[in-house]
Amino acid sequence: MHYPLYRPRRLRKSEEFRRMTRETRLSIDSLVYPLFVTPGKNVKKPILSMPGNFQMSSDIIIEEVRKTKGLGIPAILLFGIPESKDEGASGAFAKDGIIQRAVAEIKNAVPDIIVITDVCLCEYTSHGHCGMIRDTEVDNDPTIDVLAATALSHAVAGADMVAPSAMMDGQVAAIRKALDENGCVTTPIMAYSAKYASCFYGPFREAAESAPQFGDRKTYQMDPPNSNEAMREISLDIEEGADIIMVKPALPYLDIIQKAKDRFNLPIAAYNVSGEFSMIKAAASLGWIDGDRAMLETLTSIKRAGADIIITYFAQEIARLLQDR
């Protein structure tokens, strides 16, 4: 194939040609919409660093979940902001904890949307780390027991899928075991397998009030330059019983998504994280980029890299845009 016999521009000459030869199609079917639940009634508190996102009480969340379902989005991902925090993250696995109550209420009001819960401890610990602290270290093995109890409490409350995000070694196996031993054999695990120690979680930590009070997360989340290690992390999670594997963040790690897609045959989720969202919102609000087009191009690139599922704060907006086409 060479010029002038072959002219690639022939297939780009009209929108119809471009549409017909398009290789990647974004679909509402692959979207997951994250939501932040907070105690109280009628609470809808804007998250300043994430325009259009709110901390919401469960009554308001239910409205948001209805809207999400109405747009054809198949799933939400729930994060909880508890009333109080302690060293042992007791709010994470409490029977009447913020997530446990919210899940039950949501499932009751809107039964046919997938409710996924984030399983982590950073929102529930007074120190803001994702695990139990011994001296100044996050202690792995006691932590996975707490994560297992947390995941089980979510499943018992009615969660359709649990998503462990603490990056502790052995967390998926511990959770699978707890679920299986307690009658939750059909609850899938979406594992945050390759989760990097990223600056792009900044806005989320305001949203979830989960910033570490000392140190950072580099001893448990992955070092950004590493790619082979991501494949090892994913292999481990698959061996431990993950049903869906995740790469997070998405945009700075498209190569990891693609490599995982080539190598593994499980569904792959990519998390288009808070910082990726807020950058586009900020630039668009300054008039520096076209926000809608940036959203579309970004999410398409994540799909093109190989993601089957995209977790994104743009879910409602992109669903509206895709519906109108």
Q: Is 134 helix (H, G, I), strand (E, B) or coil?
A: strand
The residue with its CB nearest to ligand PBG is 204
Binder to ligand PBG among 36, 54, 93, 201 (CB under 6 A)?
201
The nearer residue to ligand PBG, 130 or 295, going by C-beta atoms, is: 130
Q: Would you give the binding string for ligand PBG spanning residues 204-243, x where CB under 6 A is met?
A: xx--------------------------------------
- Least CB distance to ligand PBG at residue 291 (A): 18
- The bridge status of strand 114-119 relative to strand 132-134 is unpaired
d(Cα 257, Cα 253) in Å, to the nearest integer? 7
- Least CB distance to ligand PBG at residue 196 (A): 9
The nearer residue to ligand PBG, 130 or 247, going by C-beta atoms, is: 130
Active-site residue, selected from the candidate residues 248, 259, 281, 303: 248
Is 107 marked active-site? no
Q: Would you give the binding string for ligand PBG spanning residues 164-183, x where CB under 6 A is met?
A: -x------------------
User: What is the identity of the amino acid at 247?
Assistant: V
Does 120 interact with ligand PBG (rule: CB under 6 A)?
yes
Q: Is 150 helix (H, G, I), strand (E, B) or coil?
A: helix
Binding residues among 281-300 for ligand PBG as defined by CB under 6 A: none
Does 316 interact with ligand PBG (rule: CB under 6 A)?
no
Binding residues among 138-167 for ligand PBG as defined by CB under 6 A: 165
Active-site residue, selected from the candidate residues 69, 85, 195, 281: 195
Residue 301's alpha-carbon distances to 4, 253, 270, in angstroms, are 30, 11, 11
The nearer residue to ligand PBG, 148 or 273, going by C-beta atoms, is: 273
Is 177 marked active-site? no
Does 184 interact with ligand PBG (rule: CB under 6 A)?
no
Size, binding site for ligand PBG by CB under 6 A: 10
Does 274 interact with ligand PBG (rule: CB under 6 A)?
yes
d(Cα 228, Cα 124) in Å, to the nearest integer? 32
Q: Is 116 helix (H, G, I), strand (E, B) or coil?
A: strand
What number of other Cβ atoms are within 10 A of residue 285's Cβ? 11
The span of 54-62, 114-122, 140-148, 183-191 binding ligand PBG (CB under 6 A) equals 114-122
- Least CB distance to ligand PBG at residue 86 (A): 17
- Least CB distance to ligand PBG at residue 12 (A): 35
The nearer residue to ligand PBG, 57 or 278, going by C-beta atoms, is: 278
CB under 8 Å to 123, separation ≥6 — which residues? 79, 80, 81, 82, 85, 92, 208, 209, 210
d(Cα 284, Cα 309) in Å, to the nearest integer? 25
d(Cα 83, Cα 85) in Å, to the nearest integer? 7
The span of 20-28, 57-65, 200-208, 296-304 binding ligand PBG (CB under 6 A) equals 200-208
DSSP string, 72-115: T--EEEEEE--S--BTT-HHHH-TT-HHHHHHHHHHHHSTTSEE
d(Cα 113, Cα 72) in Å, to the nearest integer? 9
DSSP string, 31-70: EEEEEEE-SSSS-EEE-TTSTT-EEE-HHHHHHHHHHHHH
Task: Output helix, strand, coil percentages for the chain, rounded to the nearest 5.
Answer: 45, 20, 35
Q: Give catalytic residues, as residue numbers.
A: 195, 248
Binding site for ligand PBG (CB under 6 A): 118, 120, 122, 130, 165, 201, 204-205, 273-274
